[in-house]
Amino acid sequence: MIQLLVGLGNPGPEHALDRHNAGFWFIDQVATAVGVSLKPERGFFGDVARLRLHGHELWLLQPSTYMNRSGQSVGAFARFYKIAPENILVAHDELDLPPGQAKLKLGGGHAGHNGLRDLIAHLGTPNFWRLRLGIGHPGDRAAVVGFVLGKPPQSELKLIEQAMEQSQAVLPQLLKGEFEAAMMQLHRGNRAGGQAAKAGA
């Protein structure tokens, strides 16, 4: 079951609205929903909150390192609390999914995502859960850096927020270790959301 929920992003107000901070946005949404605040923990190089959700204990973590050093924070936290990689869910921005879609996945490569790359290096395995929050793709590989470090238009932000709400709705299953049920519910919600977006276009 999931014991640690990590959001990836870059610290500082200058990055708060970047697409690359979608993982941070998700953690903020969860924290707001349950009424907790994240507090800086120097030993873990990040901001941390502890809560009970649906009868289970869950930690929230936002690394305060920059994206490409996210593993320093997550690795330190996981080692201290003896949390296995397969009990960690990492929320991150995903170029290969459109805004409004979110998918769960266990393991895999980093696909060029520097936060995932560093996590794999520090945890010593790619076998942690990922919540892939779609932000879309600029269409040109050379434009990716500026795109992820840019602010999405309001229409896309609304879709990303809806996908995060759907993701938050499957947390009860994830906390119980019911991963197949969580994936089915989330991916079914993606299809419904995509159809609604097309109807409104």
CA distance 86 to 175: 12
The model's confidence at residue 199, banded by pLDDT at 50, 70 and 90, is: very low
CB-count exposure of residue 101 (10 Å: 0-12, 13-18, 19+): buried
Beta strand ranges found along 54-181 (DSSP E): 56-63, 88-94, 102-106, 129-134
Q: In this predicted model, what pLDDT tens digit does every residue of 167-191 receive, in sequence order?
A: 999 999 999 999 999 999 998 877 6
Q: Write out the two tokens for 92.
A: 């991150």
Is 127 among the annotated ligand-binding positions?
no
Task: Quote the domain boundaries for residue 193.
Answer: 4-200
The larger pLDDT score, comparing residue 194 to residue 12, is at 12
Q: Supply the pTM of this predicted model.
A: 0.92
CATH, residue 131? 3.40.50.1470
What pLDDT is stored for residue 54 in this prediction? Answer: 84
Residues forming beta bridges with residue 49, ordered by sequence position: 60
C-alpha–C-alpha distance, residues 158 and 20, integer Å: 16
- pLDDT tens across 34-74, in order? 999 999 999 999 999 999 988 899 999 999 999 999 999 99
> Does the annotation flag 114 for ligand binding?
yes
Q: Does 68 appear as a known binding residue?
A: yes
Distances (CA, A) of 88 to 105, 139, 147, 170, 172: 12, 31, 28, 15, 15
20 is a catalytic site residue: yes
The number of domains in the chain is 1
